Amino acid sequence: GEDVEQSLFLSVREGDSSVINCTYTDSSSTYLYWYKQEPGAGLQLLTYIFSNMDMKQDQRLTVLLNKKDKHLSLRIADTQTGDSAIYFCAKGGNMLTFGGGTRLMVKP
Amino acid sequence: EAGVTQFPSHSVIEKGQTVTLRCDPISGHDNLYWYRRVMGKEIKFLLHFVKESKQDESGMPNNRFLAERTGGTYSTLKVQPAELEDSGVYFCASSQVLGGNNEQFFGPGTRLTVL
């Protein structure tokens, strides 16, 4: 089956850029998503990219997709303390396959 | 517009007991999904309803889990009897569009602890 993997933890200083990485195994065409989970809250969809795209930018967020390497990344520019959360990448259509989540800690 | 709501937010039960989780999707969303995150691992798909019909229940772990969506509105997920390994966070999501960019809106989850 599909595997989606992420590193567990990332720590950055406020104002720096954060890059959260995700790898997957199934190369079928579909959508790839980034979700954010703050404490006590549900999963909030941040952005998505279709697998025929290489890049998508949305304000401070940049998603890069390397189809050859099956690698997806989320870059957060000018990271703020409010960006501290768990970030999940997910792949699929109706049934989403999630990575294990990356906990981002932003130090003042 | 109200988001996806789930009840209860927390549930602590003993092994062998029964627990029923409830999910109210966003009004008008025909698609309803259940996921769970066990022991800090990946969030895993459980099943997908389209209105009141089960479209895909390939992720249901065993027959101790029963999901229903009578009337195609809210859904319940019953665990009977609960086992220790059922502890985790159960998420519900709903969406309007099937296929394409099927943006799923998630609820806050129900944290289930089985002692």
Q: Does B5 touch chain A (CB under 8 A)?
A: no
- The Cα B109–Cα B82 span in angstroms is 18
B54-69 pLDDT, tens digit each:
999 999 999 999 999 9
% of residues, chain B, pLDDT over 90: 85
B25-42 pLDDT, tens digit each:
999 999 999 999 997 788
Amino acid identity for residue B58 in this structure: S
CA distances from residue A64 to A21, A37, A51, B103 in whole angstroms, order as listed: 10, 21, 10, 19
Cα A53-A76-A43 angle, rounded to 5 deg: 80
- Please indicate whether, in this complex, the C-beta atoms of A95 and B56 are within 8 angstroms of each other: yes
Picking from A91, A93, A108, A82, the residue whose alpha carbon sits closest to that of residue A6 is A91
Contact at 8 Å (CB) between B24 and B74? yes
pLDDT at B1: 64
% of residues, chain A, pLDDT over 70: 98
Contacting B residues, span 42-61, partner chain A, CB-CB under 8 Å: 42-45, 48, 55-56, 58-59
Query: What is the SS3 assignment for chain A?
Result: CCCEEECCEEEEECCCCEEEEEEECCCCCCEEEEEEECCCCCEEEEEEEECCCCEEEECCEEEEEECCCCEEEEEECCCCHHHCEEEEEEEECCCEEECCCEEEEEEC
